[in-house]
Amino acid sequence: MIRRDYDLPETLPLFVLPGAVLLPRTRLPLDIFEPRYLQMVEDTLRTPHRLIGMIQPLDESGEVLAQVGSAGRIVGFSEQEDGRYLISLGQVSRYRLTGAEQGFQPYPTGHVDWAGFDGDHADAEDDPGLDRSAFLDLMRRYMDANDLSTDWEAAEDADTELLVNSLAMALPLEVQDKQALLETGTLAQRRELLEGLLEYELRHGENEEVMQ
């Protein structure tokens, strides 16, 4: 968890990126190369909070934004020889987007409400109902079906919250599914939703094979 010695701001620079969500007590590595987001990083590093608001677009134009996003503090930063920035965002809190505007900056700015996400500032959650063996078996079947790989030894040793949240962030799910996972209230709800999504994907894939 990122410890704060600053007040949460009323506005955030918005990084609009489909498929990228930042869940409680996780970190998100980003490769920044678009000029508008390079400017965003430079501007953000000058602020006391160093926060960027990750938000998903809900349409192809990128103009319709999700109502809930997640703010991350720049906790790692390196400049590459080709001008790219490699940064790491440490999750601070989810937020509700109350408005967005395009001002003088090349990137959008969001007006945000932090209420309702107090759990993001607490210690890690547990999920007593997790059947770890069954959960990992489901992950293996999903990854095998989609030609994906992971460090299974690390997965088996990871604490429950890190395991569930990291998989929810990393797996190639649809934008609306990622958004639903972001908006879940508890870790147990997120794990149950993730299991349901993966089981549906596996059944859908099996049905397509039968029809061919």
Domain boundary at 121, 144, 179, which? 121
pLDDT at 210: 47
Domain boundary at 100, 121, 142, which? 121
Domain boundary at 121, 148, 180, which? 121
> Both 93 and 190 in a single domain?
no
> Both 117 and 29 in a single domain?
yes
Contact in structure between 101 and 94 (CB atoms under 8 Å): no
> Both 157 and 72 in a single domain?
no
| Distance from C-alpha of 54 to C-alpha of 52, rounded to nearest angstrom | 6
> Both 99 and 136 in a single domain?
no
> Both 113 and 155 in a single domain?
no
Question: What domain range is 35 assigned to?
Answer: 11-121
Contact in structure between 54 and 68 (CB atoms under 8 Å): no
The total number of structural domains in the chain stands at: 2
- Do the domain assignments include residue 4? no
Mean pLDDT of 80-96: 97
> Both 112 and 137 in a single domain?
no
> Both 170 and 193 in a single domain?
yes
Per the prediction, the chain carries an average pLDDT of 93
- Do the domain assignments include residue 197? yes
> Both 79 and 137 in a single domain?
no
Mean pLDDT of 111-118: 96
Hey, how many other C-beta atoms are within 10 angstroms of the C-beta on 127?
18
Q: Over the stretch 12-63, which tens digit does the pLDDT of each residue have?
A: 999 999 999 999 999 999 999 999 999 999 999 999 999 999 999 998 888 8
| Distance from C-alpha of 48 to C-alpha of 125, rounded to nearest angstrom | 28
> Both 163 and 117 in a single domain?
no
* Tokens, residue 109: 């700015």
- Do the domain assignments include residue 5? no
> Both 140 and 74 in a single domain?
no
Residue listed under structure tokens 């409680």? 24
* Tokens, residue 165: 């949240």
| Distance from C-alpha of 186 to C-alpha of 119, rounded to nearest angstrom | 8
- Do the domain assignments include residue 6? no
- Do the domain assignments include residue 60? yes
> Both 154 and 88 in a single domain?
no
- Do the domain assignments include residue 205? yes
pLDDT at 103: 84
DSSP string, the chain: ----SSPPPSEEEEEE-TT----TT-EEEEEE-SHHHHHHHHHHHTSSS-EEEEE-BSSTTS-SB-SEEEEEEEEEEEE-TTS-EEEEEEEEEEEEEEEEE--SSSS-EEEEE-TT-GGGGSSPP--TT--HHHHHHHHHHHHHHTT----HHHHHHS-HHHHHHHHHHHS---HHHHHHHHH-SSHHHHHHHHHHHHHHHHHHHHHHHHH-
- 206: pLDDT confidence band, cut at 50, 70 and 90? low
> Both 116 and 148 in a single domain?
no
- Do the domain assignments include residue 1? no
Q: What is the CATH number of the domain that holds 26?
A: 2.30.130.40
Task: Tally the residues of the chain.
Answer: 212
